[in-house]
Amino acid sequence: MRRTTTALSRKIALSTAVAGVAALLPAGTAPATAAPPEDRQREYAAAAAEFGVPESVLLGVSYLESRWDTNAGTPSTSGGYGPMHLTDVAGLAGGPAEHPEHGEDRRGDPARPARPASTPARPASTATGPRVGGSGAAPPGGQTLDSAAALTEVDRARLRAEPEANIRGGAALLASYQTSLAGPTGRASDPAAWYGAVARYAGSDHADAAAAFADEVYRTIADGATRTTDDGHRISLPARPGTVPQRSWLDRLGLPGRPRPDGLECPRGISCEWIPAPYEAFGDGDYGNHDLSDRPARQKVEYIVIHDTEGSYDTTLRLVQDPTYVSWHYTLRSADGHIAQHVRGADVAWHAGNWYVNAKAIGLEHEGFAAQGTWYTEAMYRTSAKLVRYLADRYDIPLDRDHIIGHDNVPGILPANVRGMHWDPGPYWDWSHYFDLLRAPFRGIGIPAAGLVTIDPDFATNRPAFTGCETTGVPCPARGSSSVILRAAPAADAPLVNDLGLRPDGTPNTMHISDHGARASAGQTYALAGRQGDWTAIWYLGQRAWFHNPRGNPTARWSVGLVATPKPGRETIPVYGRAYPEADAYPAGVPVQAVTPLQYTLAAGQRYAVGNVLPSEYYRASTFDGSSPGDWTVIRGDLRYVQIQFGHRIMFVNADDVLLLPSPIGAPR
């Protein structure tokens, strides 16, 4: 779609220039270090030889499960342990309870009264659509740890905690699957003939999901991979571009097929099904659990919002099928990346807690927990990236962090709502890797005179000392993170900055895992506010915020683009959580939605990175059948808004209040 906004056109031109410069100027060079250990590579080779598995198959399966990481012995969101993701769902069930955080006003529109957050979900037996979960039995592939223990005669605790034992367990499973299919065995056997065993390793309950997992493993084998694991081991899978998987082996698994309905909005080649969220009236004007529309003809889709479920896949499906609950467009399963679509892209789901964003967004829920010591699988990252690329192309959404946002980046609609906004998918979601998979890696131009910084720490080695993942005050497991910590001064012992919306008394934020008001995340771009030694300052929530950014091991990339700053003569300007029209734009009979500032202000001399220039819009949807005056229409005004990266969340300023300038002009060095 062509865009005619002058400021946005300038931003696009600048972005094109950045891409050209980035190809010539490196973002930074890490200091030379000793070669990392290679013991892990030998452990894969030894396990492949011991159990008669082609090494490329063993490495390929492990990569798609964990990218060869150990994750400090903690389980994935689907109960898998170690580099081979040996599953122990029964053991995980004894851990922290699920607390799906979907029940409050995820619609984010006070014009329609919110249903109380305590409303119980309808029992699964009466939910619309297929019943899922609830039996107490482990899902298919949910208890492979027990099988690996029997095959290797290694106890379960060692299989969970020791990488070498875990790799042996995975190799033993693959070998047993191949034997049961009567396929060729041996380390030197043709990797292409192991397709059935690889598909079974996914633990999927349908053929399409198993095949999608296996196809991605073989794509990894063909392309090859090399990386350093989270515990410092360098591992390489040499590319085998001539490997053509023998997909006929899938038939021997006897898995049921799954018809792909017409109109399913998923790319081909991934496993996807339709489990609809019900659109149902309850009487007295109440209805749920989403709103009908006609996007993008009625209103442009600007955002894709990344969530985590804070519950299991089965629980999440039960909730979205309850008409008295809330909704989102897609749910993604951790174990194999399988996707369920619930709401058409044309319609508006209730997921982000901000009606302006909801009306212009598609919401993706990923099975997982933002804090409970679990990690997101590579299979889910990859499927999610494929879905987002498909949606971005379908709706003309730029692949950047101004448009592909987390739920934790969505602003509160009014001052009273700021404190209750969600913080998922949390600091352990690997944004840099995710954007690599989106084929839109974060780039820089190599020099601080650019005036902007894009946050991009090394995920594996960036390990902020968060607390409270499971118990308040107790340190979280040391693990990689996308977040950098922001301080009030350029020193490691300086207090964290204050987020006035979270702490109106002005006290510093904390390192508690959900206290996100003093952190910035990978891919987010901020205006440079100063430099001192190994520290860099950005403009953040109306203040200078400092983060550690040593030249030898940078945690950010220098960038260029547009910045917004108050027009001359304006000491401060208001900041908004939604971009609504002026009062005169509303037709007769439609209640005016107030243009209410948040508790933050943007002061003269400060600069904030521009993400977009947007029209003022309000999608009026207050009745089940569109019978209320103005319903199912988009009310547009003369006001225009500029989206800025103001804090951890995006926010909006009135375009009439700001100048838009190229970032290098007058930038501090």
Bigger pLDDT: 321 vs 374 = 321
Return the percentage of the chain with pLDDT > 70, whole number.
87
Residue where one domain finishes, among candidates 253, 282, 315? 253
Indicate whether 221 belongs to any domain. Answer: yes
Confidence of residue 8 (pLDDT cuts 50, 70, 90): very low
Residue 379 lies in a domain: no
Greater confidence (376 vs 16) lies with 376
**Domain limits at 245?**
39-88+142-253
Distance CA 321, CA 316 (A): 9
Q: Do the domain assignments include residue 303?
A: no
Whether 627 is covered by a domain: the verdict is: yes
Bond from prior residue into 629 cis (ω within 30 degrees of 0): no
pLDDT at 660 over 60: yes
Cis peptide before 296 (omega within 30 of 0): yes
What are the pLDDT digits (tens) for 272-310? 999 999 999 988 889 999 999 999 999 999 999 999 999
- pLDDT band, residue 106 (cuts 50/70/90): confident
Q: Across residues 622-646, what is the average pLDDT?
A: 96
* Percent of residues, the chain, with pLDDT higher than 90: 79
Q: Is 543 helix (H, G, I), strand (E, B) or coil?
A: strand
Domain end point (choices 221, 253, 285): 253
Give DSSP secondary structure letters for 46-111. Answer: HHHHHHT--HHHHHHHHHHHHTT--GGG--BTTSEETTTTEE-HHHHTTSSPP----SS--S--TT
Q: Is the pLDDT of residue 188 over 90?
A: yes
Chain-centre distance for alpha carbon 59: 25
Mean per-residue pLDDT, 507-529: 97
- Whether 578 is covered by a domain: the verdict is yes
Mark which of 200, 226, 253 sits at the end of a domain. 253
Residues 352, 409: Cα–Cα separation, whole Å: 10
Say if 345 falls within a structural domain. Answer: no
Cα 146 from Cα 434, distance rounded (Å) = 32
pLDDT greater than 90 at residue 14:
no
Q: What is the pLDDT of residue 121?
A: 40
Tokens encoding 146 = 């027990």
Residue 127 has pLDDT above 70, yes or no: no
Single pTM value for the model: 0.91
Mean pLDDT for 583-602 is 96
CB 196 within 8 Å of CB 252: yes
Q: What is the CATH number of the domain that holds 188?
A: 1.10.530
Q: How confident is the model at residue 24 (pLDDT cuts 50, 70, 90)?
A: very low
User: What pLDDT shows up at residue 631?
Assistant: 95
Q: Dihedral of CA 541/544/547/553: which sign?
A: positive
Question: What's residue 138's pLDDT?
Answer: 52
Q: How far apart are CA 492 and CA 256, in angstroms?
A: 56
In a domain, 130, yes or no: no
The yes-or-no verdict on residue 133 having pLDDT over 90 is: no
Per-residue pLDDT tens over the stretch 438-489: 999 999 887 888 899 999 999 999 999 999 998 899 999 888 999 999 999 9
pLDDT band at 125 (very low <50, low <70, confident <90, very high): very low
Q: Per-residue pLDDT for 238 more than 90?
A: yes
**Domain-located, residue 378:** no
- How much is the pLDDT for 9? 37
Cα separation, 58 vs 44, in Å, equals: 7
How many domains does the chain fold into? 2
- Provide the pLDDT for residue 37: 66
Residue 96 has pLDDT above 90, yes or no: no
Q: Tokens standing for 617?
A: 């819009």
Q: How does pLDDT run across 142-170, given as a tens digit for each residue?
A: 799 999 999 999 999 999 999 999 999 99
